Chains A and B, each alone.
Chain A
């Protein structure tokens, strides 16, 4: 079945540091890939997405490229801010074996940015 593996947290950075959160996936079909973010006490919200190989999703200074050859969708940001402190989830959506749509999440990575 489909699965998503993302780097274990927590990740602690200083403001303006470079961020990478690794995400790899396995899928039987042609998935779309997502990064969702969860700020403290809130629900998840879409950060960015890519729907086909080599697409780059970007938003709020974050970006991730859909790499089919390495089955990866790593999240990057050049200069993090305190306000980026949150839990980040990598996810994929697929129709495994022709069944209904399914969204599969990684376990989440907690990012803390210190001033």
Chain B
């Protein structure tokens, strides 16, 4: 199993550009989520999905869109990048969001918006 994979590893954008961060998992997990990690802030939940076709907002959803057309993939879209979106982004997955379930994290995408 590859686990949770993310692409790209690093990206530089100009303000106003759009891009999609890719996330895929091969563990047949129902639950997938996106976090951003900023210094001194820990991890904050952006969006999550409990299964194909179902998504919902997390703590900091503004400026980001998601979709879940398959169980395996959960892309995160930035429609018009802003410097405030400079961060490290992590995708995670688990079996359906049971309270005690372990989440598996991807290696992260480091995004710089100029």
Q: In the complex, A106→B43 CA distance in Å?
A: 8
B55 to chain A minimum Cβ distance, whole angstroms, is: 11
Measured as residues with beta carbon below 8 angstroms from the partner, the interface class of chain B is 20 to 34
Q: Name the residue of chain B whose CB is nearest to the CB of A52.
A: B100
Q: A31–B99 contact, CB under 8 A?
A: yes
Q: In the complex, A102→B48 CA distance in Å?
A: 9
Q: In the complex, A89→B90 CA distance in Å?
A: 14
Q: How many A-B residue pairs have CB under 8 A?
A: 57
Whether B34 sits at the interface, judged by CB under 8 Å, is: no
Q: Across the interface, which residues of A come within 8 angstroms of B99, CB to CB? A: 29-32, 51, 93-95, 101
Picked from A29, A100, A108, the residue with its CB within 8 Å of the CB of B42 is: A108
Q: Name the residue of chain B whose CB is nearest to the CB of A42.
A: B107
Additional A-B contact list (17), CB under 8 Å, known A43-B105, A49-B102: A31-B99, A32-B99, A42-B107, A42-B108, A43-B4, A43-B90, A43-B106, A45-B105, A51-B100, A95-B99, A100-B97, A101-B97, A101-B99, A101-B101, A103-B45, A105-B43, A105-B44
A interface, CB within 8 angstroms of B: 29-32, 34, 36, 42-46, 49, 51, 89, 93-95, 100-103, 105-108
